[in-house]
Amino acid sequence: MKKICFAFSFLLSAFSFYFCGHAHAYLKGELLTVIYGEEETSGPFNQPRSIYIDQSKGKIYVIDTLNNRLVSYDKNYKFISRFDAEGRLDLPVSMLKDKKGHLIVTNRGEESVLVIHLKEKIIEPLDFSKVFPKPVPSYLAMDENGRLYVIDKAYKRILIFSDDYEFLGEIKEPRAAGFSDVKWSGNCLYVLDTLLKKVFIYNNQGNLIRSLEFKSLGFPVSLAVDKRGFIYILDAHEGKVYLFKDNEIIGEIGKKGWKEGKLYYPGYISIDNKNTLYVVDTGNNRIEVFKIK
Amino acid sequence: MKVNLIILFSLFCFISSPVQAKMDCLKCHPDIRKQLTSGNVHNPLKKRDCTVCHNIHASDEPNLLIEPTKDLCLSCHKKSFKAKYPHLPVTQGKCDKCHDPHASPYKALLKDAEDKICFGCHEKKELIIGKRLHPPLKKGCLSCHKAHGGEYPQLLGRPPEKLCLGCHQKTEISGSHNVPAIKGTACLSCHSAHSSKKPRLLREFAHKPYAKKQCGQCHILEGKKIKGIKTKTRSLCLKCHPMEKADASIYSHIQASPGTNVCLDCHSPHLSDKKPALKAPVRLLCFNCHQDTKKQLLSNSPDYKHKHPEVKKEACLECHGAHAGNHLYFFKDDVITVCTGCHKRHAKFTHPLGEKAIDPRCKKEMDCVSCHNPMGARGGYNTIFDYKKKLCIQCHKIET
């Protein structure tokens, strides 16, 4: 009898080890809230394409692209205001705030990046006169020194501007197919290539440190990097966020769908320093906020 | 008691034993018996050992196979099919798509003559488009392509240029071209590998500068000799084909590319068989980048069982834009406009859509893809959930 019990326990342990050890542990992500463009406040979103988290002020900005506006929320996800730069925003896709509180917005419809001085009510386009060929600006990132990194979608490069918006140079990557997202984290620049399913990682000198390939992904469109240096990649077609340690999946969150907690052709992710993951659920016109544990 | 148990156990083993099943299956399967005279007979059938492949009692597999087809075949045919570009039936484990598992008058137990097998899946009219045929075609498709898979695209066993040079001498080519035609040139950018209406198997439609012999529009010339290309990027094409709105759109196809000039991912700068200067049928071009979509469309999964007819035809551009757009899914227009462009009846008669119907799951206006997935769905009529059971209750609560 003792031998039978021992054998059963051994088999049970082996079963648990095999299946639990091999299955992707789900990211422990608790859905905190879902931000909709409510009728009473901002009106519905229309294909929001990204989000900006102002951690110093506890504000969240939704880049509501097809509505040509930015919509801001406080740290409790309550609507604050909407902003269209007096009609100047034309398909905004990305946004940042610099140290002086200026808004930097990629205005896709004008193929420009606007620097918006809110107090002075001045809007200036970023000077691309020294950039050749003429770029197609896309997503933005900023480092701790205020240097601005701009994806040029057409020519496989990242344009670098100083904290007072002088063009400093570019990171060219001929090995890439094209860049779809960029994030600055832990003194490194992380850049995602959707077609090649690769992340290129550069240091603050613009030198390539390494690249990681994620062959198992379907259609990766956005990435985020947490305090531990783990990479989160959003797969738009699968409707999932995958967590990677190096290029091994160690977790996933989400599922394709429409109900809260699910994602439908999502377009962008961002993570703050409290491990709160924001997913721009473009296909469902909303933002889903997850607490990652 | 013990003896009875031993007898019963032995009887059980005997009944289950495959040795016992070497009976004459062909008594009841005369259609298989007829095949014995075919010429080439599969060894297990020759030995009348049907149980090598079949379970005589029951099985979860069709035709009472003891294992799924792929595993079964590979249990004896231990060839490695790990090519860089495998043939689709191989990746799907469908050996019986081409091979007859019992007997065949054709070599390698093929179900039919080589070219007929290939044209069973590959549309002959897409390949044989003119009277002029590439001579290797007469020898059969396998004179250039590998049946199970190749190390080069299109299942070629050698790089395309080396393949061409295997028959066509370098000197013969250099003499007739105004370009350094050997080094790095893709012969297939001008010539068809299969057939053409034009002499020398030249493709049918010409890029205007090429047709007018205005090579200098794109190339650097030294006298009459072509020395290189003026610009390697898309800027070259955009000089004559400006696409002002494409870059100013949310979604654009004219940006990212594994090569240097994104336009050349889809278009041929010299000759092509498909307007407008497309290098290949649309679906092949789309699938070059959208590999996950290709995998889904070719999947046998019940999740994608029902596909829209245009999807089955792989006519991507019926719904999707080619260059750029602002509509979700890269649609040519908003979903309702695209769908009702063909489904005209539903423009007038349908479940409430748009402003009148807010999807309670996501608080978004309903459109056709709230219920249908034309790319593949479980339910009939491409419904995402079974329309007889689960679809409606996604939104409509049942009052009890």
Tens digit of pLDDT at every position of chain B (400 positions):
666 676 665 555 555 544 444 568 888 888 888 888 888 999 999 888 999 999 999 999 989 999 998 889 988 887 767 788 888 888 888 899 999 999 999 989 999 988 789 988 888 888 888 899 999 888 889 989 999 998 888 899 888 878 888 888 776 776 667 655 545 557 888 899 999 999 999 999 999 999 998 999 999 998 888 888 999 999 999 999 998 789 999 999 999 898 889 999 999 999 999 889 999 888 889 998 998 998 888 887 888 888 888 888 888 999 999 999 999 999 999 999 999 999 998 888 888 898 889 999 999 999 999 999 989 999 989 999 988 888 998 888 877 6
Q: Per the domain annotation, does B129 fall within a domain?
A: no
The terminus-to-terminus CA distance of chain A in angstroms comes to 43
pLDDT tens, residue by residue, B98-122 = 999 999 999 899 999 887 899 888 8
In a domain, B136, yes or no: no
- Residues 6 or more apart in contact with residue A115 via CB below 8 angstroms: A98, A102, A103, A104, A123, A124, A125, A126, A165
Question: Is residue B383 in some structural domain?
Answer: yes
Query: Which of A175, A180, A264, A287 is the best substitution to test chain B (most B C-beta atoms within 10 A)?
Result: A264
A136 in any annotated domain: yes
Interface test with A, best of B231, B232, B244, B255 (most A CBs within 10 A): B255
A220 has a chain B CB within 8 A of its CB? no
B383 at A interface, C-beta within 8 A: no
User: Is the distance from CB of B150 to CB of B156 less than 8 angstroms?
Assistant: yes
Is A12 a residue whose pLDDT tops 60? no
Q: Report the gap between the CA of B377 and the closest CA in chain A (Å).
A: 13
Instruction: Say if A248 falls within a structural domain.
Output: yes
Which residue range(s) make up the domain with B43?
2-111
Instruction: Please give the residue of chain A at the shortest CA–CA distance from B235.
Output: A133
Largest CA distance in chain B: 104
Q: A47 contacts in B (CB within 8 Å)?
A: 250, 326, 328
> What is the pLDDT confidence band of residue A3, given thresholds at 50, 70 and 90?
low
The answer to whether A133 contacts B235, with C-beta atoms less than 8 Å apart, is yes
Which of B111, B130, B154 delimits the end of a domain? B111
If contacts are CB pairs under 8 Å, which of residues 20-59 in chain B contact chain A?
A: none
User: Closest residue of A to B253, CA-based?
Assistant: A154
Which pLDDT tens digit goes with each residue over A35-66? 999 888 888 999 999 999 999 999 999 999 99
Q: What is the pLDDT, as a whole number, of residue A26? A: 56
Give contacts of B326 with chain A, Cβ < 8 Å: 47, 66, 91
More confident residue, B308 or A198: A198
Q: What is the DSSP string of chain A?
A: -HHHHHHHHHHHHHHHHHHHHHSPPPP-EEEEEEEE--TTTT---SS--EEEEETTTTEEEEEEGGGTEEEEE-TT--EEEEE-TTTT-SSEEEEEE-TTS-EEEEEGGGTEEEEEETTTTEEEE---TT-SSPP-EEEEEE-TT--EEEEETTTTEEEEE-TT--EEEEEE-TT-S---EEEEETTEEEEEETTTTEEEEE-TTS-EEEEEE-TT-S-EEEEEE-TT--EEEEETTTTEEEEEETTEEEEEE--BSSSTT-BSS--EEEE-TT-EEEEEEGGGTEEEEEEE-
CB–CB contact A195 B289 (8 Å): yes
Would an 8 Å CB–CB cutoff place B258 in contact with chain A? yes
Asked whether residue B212 is domain-assigned, the answer is: no
Number of domain units in chain B = 2
pLDDT of residue A14: 47
Q: Is B292 in Cβ contact with A265 (below 8 Å)?
A: no
Torsional sign, CA B71, B73, B74, B75: positive
Does A219 touch chain B if contact means CB atoms closer than 8 Å? yes
CB contact under 8 A, B361 and A93: no
State pLDDT tens for residues A121-155: 999 999 999 999 999 999 999 999 999 999 999 99
CB of A31 within 8 Å of a chain B CB? The answer is no
Query: In total, how many domains does chain A have?
Result: 1
The enclosing domain of A252 has a CATH number of: 2.120.10.30
Q: Is B104 on the interface with A (CB under 8 A)?
A: no
Interface test with A, best of B287, B301, B359, B363 (most A CBs within 10 A): B363
Per-residue pLDDT band at A90 (split at 50, 70, 90): very high
Partners of residue B329 in chain A, C-beta under 8 Å: 265
Would B276 be classed as within a structural domain?
A: no
For A282-291, what is the mean pLDDT?
Answer: 97
Q: Starting at the edge strand that comes first in sequence, how are the strands of the sheet with A188-193 ordered?
A: A181-185, A188-193, A198-202, A208-213
Question: Any CB–CB contact under 8 A between B239 and chain A?
Answer: no
Q: Which of residues 195-234 of B touch A (CB under 8 A)?
A: 233-234
Residue A151 located in a structural domain: yes
Residue B11 pLDDT: 56
Whether residue A10 lies inside any domain: the answer is no
Tell me, yes or no, whether B357 lies in a domain.
yes
Q: Which residue among A93, A111, A285 sits closest to B247, beta carbon to beta carbon?
A: A111
Provide the phi-psi class of B260: left if phi over 0, else alpha when psi is between -120 and 50, else beta: alpha
The tokens describing A107, both together, are 């205005």
- Say how many CB pairs under 8 Å bridge A and B: 84
When CB atoms are compared, the residue of B247, B292, B364 closest to A136 is B247
Closest by Cα among B338, B322, B333, B328 to B241: B322
Query: A126: domain range?
Result: 34-292
Choose the final residue of a domain: B111, B129, B144. Answer: B111
Mutate to test the interface with B, among A195, A237, A262 (most CBs of B within 10 A): A195
Choose the final residue of a domain: B111, B129, B148.
B111
Domain-located, residue B44: yes
- Asked whether residue A187 carries a pLDDT value surpassing 50, the answer given is yes
Q: Is residue A24 part of a domain?
A: no
CB-nearest to A47 from B233, B252, B328 is: B328
Q: How far is A71 from chain B (nearest CA, A)?
A: 18
| B130 SS3 class | coil
Residue A27, domain member (yes or no) = no
Query: For residue B83, what pLDDT is reported?
Result: 83
Q: Is residue B10 part of a domain?
A: yes
Mean pLDDT of A216-233: 94
Number of H helices, E strands in chain B: 18, 14
pLDDT of residue B86: 85
Q: What is the pLDDT of residue A17?
A: 42
Residue B387: strand, helix, or coil: coil
The answer to whether A66 contacts chain B (CB < 8 Å) is yes
Q: Considering only CA atoms, which of A93, A3, A82 is closest in space to residue A41?
A: A82
Please identify among residues 309-338 of chain B the ones whose CB lies closer than 8 Å to any CB of chain A. Answer: 326, 328-329
Domain for residue A3, yes or no? no
Q: What are phi and psi of B86, to 5 degrees?
A: -75, 155
Q: Would residue A138 count as lying in a domain?
A: yes
